[in-house]
Amino acid sequence: MLKVAIIGATGYTGRELAGILARHPHVQPTYLTSESFAGQRLSDVYPQFRSVVDVTLEKPDMDKVAECDFIFSALPHGLSVDTVPQLVSTGKKVVDLSGDFRLKDGGLYADWYGYEHNQPQLLANSVYGLPEVNRQQIKKADLVANPGCYPTSVLLALKPLLAEGVVDPQDIIVDAKSGVSGAGRSPKLPFHFPECTENFKAYKVAGHQHTPEIEQELAAVAKEQVLVTFTPHLVPMIRGILSTIYLRTSGKLSETEIWSLFEKHYGDEPFIRLLKAPALPETKFVSGSNFCDISLRLEERTGRLIVLSAIDNLMKGAASQAVQNMNLMMGWPEETGLK
Amino acid sequence: MLKVAIIGATGYTGRELAGILARHPHVQPTYLTSESFAGQRLSDVYPQFRSVVDVTLEKPDMDKVAECDFIFSALPHGLSVDTVPQLVSTGKKVVDLSGDFRLKDGGLYADWYGYEHNQPQLLANSVYGLPEVNRQQIKKADLVANPGCYPTSVLLALKPLLAEGVVDPQDIIVDAKSGVSGAGRSPKLPFHFPECTENFKAYKVAGHQHTPEIEQELAAVAKEQVLVTFTPHLVPMIRGILSTIYLRTSGKLSETEIWSLFEKHYGDEPFIRLLKAPALPETKFVSGSNFCDISLRLEERTGRLIVLSAIDNLMKGAASQAVQNMNLMMGWPEETGLK
Amino acid sequence: MLKVAIIGATGYTGRELAGILARHPHVQPTYLTSESFAGQRLSDVYPQFRSVVDVTLEKPDMDKVAECDFIFSALPHGLSVDTVPQLVSTGKKVVDLSGDFRLKDGGLYADWYGYEHNQPQLLANSVYGLPEVNRQQIKKADLVANPGCYPTSVLLALKPLLAEGVVDPQDIIVDAKSGVSGAGRSPKLPFHFPECTENFKAYKVAGHQHTPEIEQELAAVAKEQVLVTFTPHLVPMIRGILSTIYLRTSGKLSETEIWSLFEKHYGDEPFIRLLKAPALPETKFVSGSNFCDISLRLEERTGRLIVLSAIDNLMKGAASQAVQNMNLMMGWPEETGLK
Amino acid sequence: MLKVAIIGATGYTGRELAGILARHPHVQPTYLTSESFAGQRLSDVYPQFRSVVDVTLEKPDMDKVAECDFIFSALPHGLSVDTVPQLVSTGKKVVDLSGDFRLKDGGLYADWYGYEHNQPQLLANSVYGLPEVNRQQIKKADLVANPGCYPTSVLLALKPLLAEGVVDPQDIIVDAKSGVSGAGRSPKLPFHFPECTENFKAYKVAGHQHTPEIEQELAAVAKEQVLVTFTPHLVPMIRGILSTIYLRTSGKLSETEIWSLFEKHYGDEPFIRLLKAPALPETKFVSGSNFCDISLRLEERTGRLIVLSAIDNLMKGAASQAVQNMNLMMGWPEETGLK
């Protein structure tokens, strides 16, 4: 059993990671760090782990990190940028779950994340960890930037269409909806139960930091500039993302022909499920799993293509995708510990 | 106190109506009908009404209806089309809350509602009951077709823009989200608590019956054909609709100039609240009220205009709007009993 | 219209109070204070109040308080004890919604509330504001201690039984369940949506500060010592309390005879509804109202009496009961503004 | 891999069973029956099973059942009583998840379940499948009656106390709260989302069919008659049961001494977790697991003992406990496939 470190193990993403790794046949969660809860066991912070994962949390110590065989960093963005260089310098492979190593143009961090990025070399070397797009590079990577939750749902929904050049890359609208766990575990008024339940709203309209990440990765697939309007919404549920995406096609393809593009690209993908009409994705169907469910409708009246995708934001949108990346980086079968 | 009849009083819309009318200073809910619960009191069906509205429900009898001074019909669509002609023939003013008298082109009913409409004359005479658009006609109407919940949220959000001709009427996307009460009170699997809570999904993609209603009424405002892609979603909450609407402008107007169009059209409207940035609408803010909250963002990166509106689907989207229409039809101040 | 002050207007109780008072025919919410939000309008803090209650919040100033005709204090316990004496010294009538003036034995505050009470005189003079028990004293009171939410649900359920001496006062178990708004508006981890929804738990088992309040007031009714086991639970819903109460009777009374005691005591009460079998109280039935719904079952197998009561914790358990008390103190009909 | 049959695979219990068995190393869910959905795949009924459990559902056929190595019956009570005899006659071991073979006194079925039981022999032969109490008999059983969800939570909480004779067996109050999945998957008004969410209530007060099951099994442990007041409540959440249990002790034992009785009985139990103060059970901590979490408080003021236990009603309260029983019956390690 290889030893795995989780830096920042007590957020929701760290918790999911610990749970998945505890069931993984080749590794065990060995070294878990927390600034706030050091000295307590993970099962004190999350009592569901009692007699399942009872590892004691520690303040991060790079010597101890270096004794592990693989490292996950689950720190918030803005903190990862300072810590990940130290993790990488241990010589062990690293998956970073924050947004700090996803944008290739470091200058974007000032605008979208509010800080100056000072690690251009690592930014250049990191691999964007979406297996369905970058599988081969991930296998060889030392640092994988695990994709954001919203971008995962959007990129998987659009890859076949942009790779094949059948939709207008300048006319893409993503209306996305997420459960509340996406906002993390720190108590804040908008996520206080009486404020949050029985409520629905959009937030960060025309300004969410996942926008440039989506555009960058879609452009890499399309091999041309892509422009996206992205609107996130908050759903009164714990987990799940549904993205409803509006596109313009050339008008020459039928719905059946569009489906065949998806089958061409995703026919062998273990974690993508294509739902033909009348089926539609629902977040409950992917809850707790690494699946991404995708469906689509070509609206004849308007000529618009509507693609819908659902993931579990904490799983395929974070922790289980990180493990999928680890499997690739370690040369294990991609589905190990994920089904 | 005038006597008011509610035909179909035990659905969620009928229940809301009864509650509002019980607080209205000029009327009282007098004659309440129900096929399923006749013989019981409304407060047996909805115990919150005990010692508030204890009227006994009756099977509908047109002679008794005719003894009332005003009639609301809250039957499901497909049933109203048969009953409303009888109600109108009593000579009393009628507000019908179903979709059966909203579409001016009767032929659309076969496609979108699944039945042949056989009342062309009433269809021609009915007035679409959106006070912010049709206030003067409503005052004189004998039969008002109360707008659908989704259409109300969309039409109020778009009226100033289409009336002023500043957005492309062929490029409108409405991504709408509704609480579960919109599906009515009949128990069905998709609305069974364990299926419905902790879940989010789209439904009737590219096929919801409110689409032609939205296009018809927007066209009436725009004075040209309008084409809308409309996607409804189900939110795990009881009440509320949020519509996120994506538009193309000519590119010449600033966000401030667009707001001034809204102020021009809505400056005196008692039930429309304009939320300037950074505020955004939330369904909780309009819950239980007749308000429609509207906000917007002009996205410079893409040139797209995003308009968001929130209503309570059972109130401004149904019952309280029906009372607003009654107030107009009876010559009372429009806000009577609604604030 | 009399002027009313709310000290601490931005908690959930203050918000409910503002809403009720805005609809009250004899008063208007005039002077609203907040330490945290001074300078903003109440409708900035609670946007549902836009164009309904737009009063600007101020830091508390006793001169301005004194210009009002009636004062509600909605501060947290531990703060009220310092502020209420100043409020009372204005010479205006005061309703305090905290627990700081409810316990007649000031020594209990150290044990149950964690502070030393230094206002024995006000404690002696304050009247416990449960109208169904203390109506006459409330009418003459200068300072009313508005009852706690749990105690309201328990005292109303038990008053007839203890007043008539038909249950064992030493063998009372109260298993109570409350919505999350009872914990207030400050964001804390246990009330963070992803922690709180889809979860159920007990808290403060054998140690909740409402225990001595319940025992004190039941003893006043019973005219002998009362001993209560009280266990509160947290329900993943916004509002509502259901108390399930287990009692021992002498065994001589039938269920019908027990009901007749309730009718004797509550026959004329405007806000108590007695639900005969097979009906049972549900929190939804009292949501948003000042009602307390009560039902009971005599279990023949065990000889135990089970009484169930439901209230809205923010209404009859706080704000609307405070207004009921104001109505009594001002000599207005008790139901004014509450139905 | 042994072949397993699930009779009635499309209820919530059947669904959970299928999921657990799909992960079990020694068996596979092979033959799944459904009256309503025969011809569809399980993954059509529960799309989360797409590419996980795609078995096609069939109408039950005893010849095909007989080809399996082990049988679970997940039919509703009242139907199992007719089907289980046929299942047993195949000669294969059977776990029945209904209530139809739990009560040793067949005469009780008329009163509590509303039908006349006609299988006295099977009733006599069946073993009550609570491993923590009946482990040895379960290993040898041909027919195991899997315990009810509420009884599981109560029996595990009370076994050490009644086995040791330290509480009054005639003075036991169980106030239990369950998530909505306990009511099954058939849509009914009380479980319709808008009725059920934001609501809390008791039901079947003094009349729930789990009462005699609890009393029977507690009596078997106590070796004397036991009398229980049992009140179930409905919590607006999908899964989980919390039981709050009120007892009288002799007054001689300290809280520490009581805990040592629990450790004596449960020290080696793999699925029981004892939570010392200040910890308390929460349903979220056991969600999706086979654990039962137990805590207790001795209330000095009243001399009462309060025991709290939490389980997942669909897991330890149904499906995973059934698999725990299968493991015992097949001679496999008890935790196989359950951790």
What residues of chain B lie within 8 A of the CB of D46, using their CB?
none
- Give D72→chain C minimum CA distance, Å: 28
User: C317 at the D interface (CB within 8 A)?
Assistant: no
Cα A194 vs. chain centroid, distance in angstroms? Answer: 28
Give pLDDT tens digits for B144-177. Answer: 999 999 999 999 999 999 999 999 999 999 999 9
Confidence of residue B251 (pLDDT cuts 50, 70, 90): confident
* Closest Cα in chain A to C196: A193
Flag whether C337 is in a domain: no
Choose, from B68, B149, B196, B292, the residue flagged as catalytic.
B149
Residues forming a β-bridge with D235: none
Q: In this structure, what CATH number is given to the domain that contains residue D140?
A: 3.40.50.720
Flag whether B240 is in a domain: yes
What residues of chain B lie within 8 A of the CB of A175, using their CB?
175, 231, 244, 246
Residues D238 and D133 in one domain: no
Nearest CB to A187: which of C12, C188, C237? C188
What residues of chain A lie within 8 A of the CB of C197, using their CB?
193, 197, 236-238
User: C339 at the B interface (CB within 8 A)?
Assistant: yes
Token duo for residue A321: 């995708």
Flag whether B336 is in a domain: no
Alpha-carbon distance of D325 to A59, in angstroms, equals 43
Confidence of residue B140 (pLDDT cuts 50, 70, 90): very high
Q: What is the DSSP letter of C58?
A: B
User: B111 at the A interface (CB within 8 A)?
Assistant: no
List own/partner pairs for C58-62 with CB under 8 A and 24 or more apart.
C58/C31, C58/C32, C58/C33, C58/C34, C59/C33, C59/C34, C59/C35, C60/C7, C60/C33, C60/C35, C61/C33, C62/C86, C62/C87, C62/C90
Confidence of residue D33 (pLDDT cuts 50, 70, 90): very high
Flag whether A339 is in a domain: no
DSSP state letters, D216-250: HHHHHHHTS---EEEEEEE-SSSS-EEEEEEEEB-
When computed from its CA atoms, the radius of gyration of chain A, rounded to whole angstroms, is: 20
Average pLDDT over residues C177-191: 98
Binary contact (D285, A339; C-beta < 8 A): no
CB pairs under 8 A between C and D: 130
Asked whether C150 and C245 are in contact (CB, 8 A), the reply is no
Residue C119: strand, helix, or coil: coil
Which pLDDT score is estimated for D55?
96
Flag whether D297 is in a domain: yes
Token duo for residue C313: 């914790």
Q: Is B196 among the residues known to form the active site?
A: no
Alpha helices in chain A (DSSP H): 12-23, 42-45, 62-66, 80-88, 108-112, 120-125, 131-140, 149-163, 193-196, 210-222, 255-266, 283-286, 319-330
Residues C196 and C114 in one domain: no
For helices C319-330 and C131-140, angle between their N-to-C axes, nearest 10 degrees: 40
User: D196 at the B interface (CB within 8 A)?
Assistant: yes
Give pLDDT tens digits for D92-144. Answer: 999 999 999 999 999 999 999 999 999 999 999 999 999 999 999 999 999 99
Residues D169 and D139 in one domain: no
User: B181 at the D interface (CB within 8 A)?
Assistant: yes
- Give A288→chain B minimum CA distance, Å: 12
Closest alpha carbon to B14 in B138, B129, B185: B185
- With tokens 């609203």, the residue in question is C32
Task: Report in angstroms the alpha-carbon separations of D52 from A338, C305, D30, D74, D289.
Answer: 11, 50, 13, 20, 19
In the complex, which subunits touch D with 3 or more CB pairs below 8 angstroms?
A, B, C
Percentage of residues of chain C with pLDDT beyond 90: 99
Token duo for residue A237: 């549920």
Q: Which residues contact B97 (CB under 8 A, 6 or more apart)?
A: B13, B17, B72, B73, B74, B146, B318, B319, B322
What residues of chain B lie within 8 A of the CB of D198, using their CB?
238
User: A238 at the C interface (CB within 8 A)?
Assistant: yes
Binary contact (C47, B287; C-beta < 8 A): no
**Across B99-166, where does the E strand assignment appear?**
127-128, 143-145
Token duo for residue A197: 């339940």
Phi, psi of A153, deg, nearest 5: -65, -30
Domain count along chain A: 2
- Top residue of B48, B192, B200 to mutate, by most chain D CBs within 10 Å, is B192
Residues B40 and B161 in one domain: no
Alpha-carbon distance of A213 to D292, in angstroms, equals 44
- With tokens 């005591």, the residue in question is C265
Which pLDDT score is estimated for A339?
87
Asked whether B101 and B123 are in contact (CB, 8 A), the reply is yes
Which pLDDT score is estimated for D6?
98
Which pLDDT score is estimated for B250?
82
Residues B6 and B98 in one domain: yes
Alpha-carbon distance of B275 to A205, in angstroms, equals 14
Provide the sign of the torsion angle of the four alpha carbons A160, A162, A163, A166, taken in this order.
positive
Confidence of residue B292 (pLDDT cuts 50, 70, 90): very high
Half-sphere exposure of D26 (CA within 13 A, CB side): 15
* Closest Cα in chain D to A49: D285
Token duo for residue A180: 């509340």
Provide the sign of the torsion angle of the four alpha carbons C228, C232, C238, C243, taken in this order.
negative
Confidence of residue C301 (pLDDT cuts 50, 70, 90): very high
Question: What is the domain extent for residue A183?
Answer: 150-311
Residues forming a β-bridge with B215: none
Asked whether D290 and D320 are in contact (CB, 8 A), the reply is yes
Asked whether D280 and C202 are in contact (CB, 8 A), the reply is yes
Binary contact (C50, B273; C-beta < 8 A): yes
Flag whether A335 is in a domain: no
Q: What is the DSSP letter of A230?
A: E
Asked whether A193 and A137 are in contact (CB, 8 A), the reply is no
Asked whether D178 and D313 are in contact (CB, 8 A), the reply is yes
Average pLDDT over residues C52-57: 96
Binary contact (B201, A282; C-beta < 8 A): yes
Binary contact (A47, D279; C-beta < 8 A): yes
* Closest Cα in chain C to A46: C195
User: D282 at the C interface (CB within 8 A)?
Assistant: yes
Residues D190 and D125 in one domain: no
Provide the sign of the torsion angle of the four alpha carbons B240, B244, B250, B251, taken in this order.
positive
Residues B75 and B172 in one domain: no
In the complex, which subunits touch C with 3 or more CB pairs below 8 angstroms?
A, B, D
Average pLDDT over residues D231-244: 98
Q: What is the DSSP letter of C141?
A: -
CB pairs under 8 A between A and D: 37
DSSP state letters, D64-77: HHHTSSEEEE-PPT
Binary contact (B201, A306; C-beta < 8 A): no
Binary contact (B237, A304; C-beta < 8 A): no
* Closest Cα in chain B to D45: B189
Q: Which residues in C93-118 are b (16+ Cβ under 10 Å) and which e?
A: bbbbbbbbbbbbebebbeebbeeebe
Is the pLDDT assigned to residue B237 strictly greater than 90? yes
Token duo for residue A297: 């409708």
Confidence of residue D270 (pLDDT cuts 50, 70, 90): very high
Which pLDDT score is estimated for D251?
83
Residues B117 and B228 in one domain: no
- Cβ atoms < 10 Å from Cβ of A208: 20
User: A44 at the C interface (CB within 8 A)?
Assistant: no
Alpha-carbon distance of A181 to B294, in angstroms, equals 27
Residue D308: strand, helix, or coil: strand
- Residue ranges of chain A whose pLDDT lies below 50: none
Average pLDDT, chain C: 97
* Closest Cα in chain A to C180: A194
* Closest Cα in chain C to D235: C235
Token duo for residue B254: 């600033």
Flag whether D205 is in a domain: yes
User: A273 at the D interface (CB within 8 A)?
Assistant: yes
Q: In this structure, what CATH number is given to the domain that contains residue B291?
A: 3.30.360.10
Residues A272 and A136 in one domain: no
What residues of chain A lie within 8 A of the CB of B175, using their CB?
175, 231, 244, 246
Give pLDDT tens digits for C117-144. Answer: 999 999 999 999 999 999 999 999 999 9
Token duo for residue D38: 């025969």
Residues forming a β-bridge with B95: B72, B144
Confidence of residue C339 (pLDDT cuts 50, 70, 90): confident
* Closest Cα in chain A to D19: A339
Binary contact (D48, A285; C-beta < 8 A): yes
Flag whether D224 is in a domain: yes
Residues D127 and D42 in one domain: yes
Is the pLDDT assigned to residue D339 strictly greater than 90? no
Alpha-carbon distance of A280 to A288, in angstroms, equals 18
Is the pLDDT assigned to residue C250 strictly greater than 90? no
Average pLDDT, chain B: 97
Binary contact (B52, C339; C-beta < 8 A): yes
- Cβ atoms < 10 Å from Cβ of C264: 11
Alpha-carbon distance of B287 to B316, in angstroms, equals 10
Closest alpha carbon to C38 in C1, C7, C82, C73: C7
Residues C109 and C6 in one domain: yes
Residues D11 and D113 in one domain: yes
Alpha-carbon distance of A86 to A75, in angstroms, equals 13
Provide the sign of the torsion angle of the four alpha carbons B188, B194, B198, B201, taken in this order.
negative
**Quick one: residue B76, left, alpha or beta (phi over 0 = left, psi -120 to 50 = alpha)?**
beta
Binary contact (C287, B339; C-beta < 8 A): no
User: C181 at the A interface (CB within 8 A)?
Assistant: yes
- Give D239→chain B minimum CA distance, Å: 8
